[in-house]
Amino acid sequence: MLINAKLPFDLNHLSQKDQTLSLAGMNWADYEKLDSQEYLGYRVSYFNGVITLVSPSQNHEVIAEVINYLIVAYCRQTNLLYYPMRSTRLVNKPLAAKEPDVSFSFGARKSIPDLAIEVIFSSGSIDDLKKYKSIGVAEVWFWQDNQITFYQLANDGYTEIANSIFLPNLAARDLESFVNRGFSESPLTIESDFINFIK
C-alpha cells in the first residue's frame, strides 16, 4: 500500500501524544487509495496536495468523547433532534477531505454535518478550517489547550462566535469548563452536572 513502510505509529506514546504523518506532493487519487478498513484507528485528511494521517492519543479520545456525551445530553434535555455522524469521512472531491473527531447533523439526517468538532492535542491546527470551508460545514468547534472555540461559516470564511448556532444558548466558555473535567472525572458525573447547568 501507499505508506505501509511508515506505519504503524509508535504505540508507546499514544496515551499522551497524537501520532501524525503528513505526506506532501500527493493528489486525490493517492488519497482515495487509503482504505479506511486497512487504516482503522487513523483519521485521514486531504488538502492542497497533502495527506495527513493522525492516530489519536488516549487523552485526545477522552476529550472527544466527553464533548460527544455533552452534545447528546444537551439535545436530550432540549428535545433537539440529533443525528450523530462521529468521524464520517467528509469529501469535496477533488479538493478536500476530512474526518472530524465528532460530528452531528440536527433536525434531519444530512450528508454533510451541521457541526464538526476537532480536538487539537499534538496534531491538527486551525488550518483545518480551510478543509471544512471547502466541504461546507456550517459550524466547527476546536478544543485546544483547555479552551473551546466556536466558528460559524460565512461567505468569506469562518468567524469566531461566542454561542453555538445549532445548540442555542450554549456558550463555548461554559462548555469548556465541563469538558476539561474529563481528564479526572467520569463522564457520568460531568453529564449530570451539565444537565443541571442547562436546565
Distance CA 130, CA 67 (A): 22
Q: What is the pLDDT of residue 1?
A: 43
pLDDT at 88 over 70: yes
The model's pTM: 0.88
Contact between 54 and 41 under an 8 Å Cβ cutoff? The reply is no
For residue 26, give the C-alpha cell. 500527493
Distance CA 130, CA 137 (A): 10
The pairing of strands 115-120 and 139-144 is parallel
Mapped onto helix, strand or coil, the DSSP state of residue 32 is helix
The mean pLDDT value for 68-83 works out to: 97
Contact between 97 and 89 under an 8 Å Cβ cutoff? The reply is yes
Reference 151, options 165, 143, 136, 161; nearest CA is 161
Looking at residue 171, what DSSP letter applies?
A: B
The mean pLDDT value for 44-49 works out to: 93
The band of 41, judged by pLDDT with boundaries at 50, 70 and 90, is confident
pLDDT at 125 over 70: no
Helix and strand tally (H, E) in the chain?
Answer: 5, 11
The mean pLDDT value for 168-182 works out to: 96
Element (H, E) at 192: helix 187-198
The band of 18, judged by pLDDT with boundaries at 50, 70 and 90, is confident
The pairing of strands 115-120 and 82-84 is unpaired
pLDDT at 38 over 70: no
The domain defined by 58-198 folds into: tt1808, chain A (3.90.1570)
- Name the burial class of residue 156, with classes exposed (0-12), middle (13-18) and buried (19+) by CB atoms within 10 angstroms of its CB: exposed
